Amino acid sequence: MEKNQEFTVTIEDMNEDGAGVGKLDGYIWFIKDTVIGDVVRAKAMKMKKSYGFARLMEVLEPSAGRVEPPCPVSRQCGGCQLQAMSYEEQLRFKENKVLNNLMRIGKFKRDEIKMLPIMGMENPWRYRNKAQFPFGRNKDGEIIAGFYAGRTHDIIGNDDCLLGVEENQEILGIIKGFMKENGLEPYDENAHKGLVRHVLIRKGFKTGELMVCLVVNGRTLGGRLEDGLRDSRADSLADNSADRLAGCLVEKLCQVKGMTSISYSVNMEKTNVIMGKEVVNLYGPGYITDYIGDVQYQISPLSFYQVNPVQTEKLYGTALEYADLSGNETVWDLYCGIGTISLFLAQKAKKVYGVEIIPQAIEDARRNAALNGMDNVEFFVGKAEEVLPEQYEKNQIHADVIVVDPPRKGCDTVCLDTILKMRPEKVVYVSCDSATLARDLRYLADGGYVVGKVRGCDMFPGTVHTECIVELCRK
Ligand code: SAH
């Protein structure tokens, strides 16, 4: 095969990035925008020794699971890798991925795995409570907001991402109009010039409260004040008009139903990090409130919070079910983030200890515990693989149940070894990567645990990400 040569292939699988996988004479092709079951004509683009990348030219025979993507920019945007797959097909794909990894990497036999049906969404659209839109200009020089095209920093204009809330469109319209009227420039990454970088929009699904936080390359909404990089327009506006501008923006945004918190974040760095470290409050209490189940959370612009609250409730509910608490248990929640699972568990346990590496997350966790009047939770800042062994050796701590929810790389072996030494009755493993999950489950199984129920939970419909919960019982 030569570069640019075209060929026909059947798509048999999908890789981690959501590209279709097809085989031709033992050679593997990755082809974006295809669906398992498609027969396609593709063009060879880049070839390595045993695999290559090809571009989809034509779908010759569409898969039974193929649908017309409802989003007009789904192919350029790349945020939803699975939009051309029907939702039932997406769920099957995710369930199979977990099962295959448990068998292939974890070496579990099919009949050893008690797989429950994956928990999907009734309506797999508009599920995200948070969106971050970058601003820029299109070819015609108009201000646009949207998303970066896959693997680039080119902005695809899109005010109404179908994963986000309907209010996004109205809010973006207001901000773009405000920028135009007042001559506020969108930020230009290459020149490191212009003011408005991003907007963060969040909504409390249970409360209806809305938050807007504008990320600006300046100390005030008037533009940059202190360095030589002033835009001429922003320069003349800068000094005294900053307050007037802020007032004007607040007034406009408050017309949106539910508007509760308006702020801006100062980010003058040359960086890919979206939010600045500093937040200046313009209107409201500085946070919005939301609930997962009966637990209340205050969410500020910089707080982490699960983006799909409907599925989060199902995920945590299942974790709680697998923990099987009666009220007398001591529970450890490792990789606890802002303590969402810890607080969920604390409703049914005697005592919950949470461990998390990021200090600000633990501050949020403590505040949320107090907000809910929960005094049976305690949080530690540090690495799970350091805090747990230290507490075990120094204080002979005990656990009836240990819940882990690690990042994609899974648990550290020191952490797993300590869990095995502590011998809790149950371990509940919440995972966002079934490959590392399979590896860790094998380790725990060899150390004396039996893998019980396994259940997927679709936290991110339209994307390849797969979340899953596993119950482990001591032999
Ligand atoms: N359980 C939380 C968040 C899970 S995400 C929730 O449901 O909201 C994984 C968390 O693990 C992140 O907050 C990350 O900061 C934290 N983390 C990463 N490595 C860690 C480590 N070695 N020890 C403890 N926490 C860690």
Q: Which band of pLDDT confidence, cut at 50, 70 and 90, is reported for residue 367?
A: very high
Q: Whole-number mean pLDDT of the chain?
A: 93
* Tokens encoding 363: 């501050």
Mean pLDDT, range 332-337, rounded to an integer: 97
Contact residues of ligand 1, CB 6 A cut-off: 306, 335-338, 340-341, 355-358, 361, 383-385, 405-407
- Is the domain of 344 the same as that of 438? yes
Same domain, 359 and 426: yes
**230-239, 275-284, 347-356: least confident range:** 230-239
Confidence of residue 236 (pLDDT cuts 50, 70, 90): low
Q: What would the pLDDT profile of 7-58 be if each residue is shown by its tens digit?
A: 999 999 988 788 999 999 999 999 998 999 999 999 999 999 999 999 999 9
Span 52-81, mean pLDDT? Answer: 92
Q: In the predicted model, is pLDDT for residue 301 greater than 60? A: yes
Give the domain CATH number at 412: 3.40.50.150
The length of the chain in residues reads 475
Task: Single out the residue of 122, 124, 113, 112 nearest to residue 82, CA to CA.
Answer: 124
- Average pLDDT value for residue range 368-377: 97
Report the pLDDT averaged over residues 294-314. Answer: 93
Q: How confident is the model at residue 154 (pLDDT cuts 50, 70, 90)?
A: confident
**What pLDDT sits at residue 238?**
55
Whether residue 179 sits in one domain with residue 53: no
Q: Looking at ligand 1, which atom is closest to the CA of residue 412?
A: 22
* Average pLDDT estimate for 231-249: 70
Q: Are residues 338 and 206 in the same domain?
A: no
432 as an active site residue: the answer is yes
pLDDT of residue 155: 92
76 lies in some domain? no
182 and 228 co-located in one domain: yes
Query: What residues make up the domain containing 143?
Result: 130-291
Residue 89 within a domain: no
- For residue 451, tell me if it sits in a domain: yes
Domain count, the chain: 3
- What mean pLDDT comes out for the span 235-244? 65
Could you tell me the distance, in angstroms and rounded to a whole number, from the CA of residue 408 to the centre of ligand 1? 10
Same domain, 437 and 340: yes
Average pLDDT over residues 371-376: 97
Q: What percent of the chain shows pLDDT beyond 70?
A: 96
Q: Is 295's pLDDT higher than 90?
A: yes
pTM for the model: 0.90
Q: Given this model, what pLDDT does residue 224 score?
A: 46
Is the same domain home to 363 and 415?
Answer: yes
Q: Tell me, yes or no, whether 170 and 232 share the same domain.
A: yes
Q: Distance from CA of residue 235 to its chain's centroid?
A: 38
Mutate to test the pocket of ligand 1, among 295, 318, 336 (most ligand atoms within 8 A of CB): 336
What confidence tens digit (pLDDT) does each residue in 182-210 have? 999 999 999 999 999 999 999 999 999 99
Last residue of a domain, one of 242, 260, 291: 291
**376 and 322 inside one domain:** yes
For a ligand 1 pocket test, name from 356, 414, 416 the mutation site with the most ligand atoms within 8 angstroms of its C-beta: 356
Confidence of residue 240 (pLDDT cuts 50, 70, 90): low
From the list 158, 6, 11, the residue with the least C-alpha distance to 82 is 11
Q: What is the CATH number of the domain that holds 247?
A: 2.40.50.1070
| Last residue within a domain, chosen from 256, 291, 326 | 291
Give the domain-ending residue among 291, 321, 356: 291
Is the model's pLDDT at 225 over the cut of 80?
no
Task: Supply the pLDDT for residue 227.
Answer: 41
On whether both 23 and 104 belong to a single domain, the answer is: no
pLDDT at 444: 98
pLDDT score of 287 more than 50 = yes
Answer whether residue 430 shows pLDDT above 90. yes
CA-CA distance, 181 to 178, in Å (whole number)?
5
Which distant-in-sequence residues (6+ apart) come within 8 Å of 265 by Cβ?
Answer: 200, 213, 214, 215, 216, 275, 276, 278, 279, 280, 301, 302
**Does residue 339 sit in the same domain as residue 419?**
yes
Do residues 314 and 264 share a domain? Answer: no
Query: The CATH number of the domain where 57 resides is what?
Result: 2.40.50.140
Give pairs for 155-162: CB < 8 Å, separation 24+: 156/73, 156/76, 156/77, 158/71, 158/73, 158/77, 161/71, 161/79, 161/128, 161/131, 162/70, 162/71, 162/125, 162/126
Cβ contacts of 286 within 8 Å, gap of 6 or more: 261, 263, 279, 300
**Is 81 within the bounds of a domain?**
no
Query: Is pLDDT at 231 greater than 70 in this prediction?
Result: no
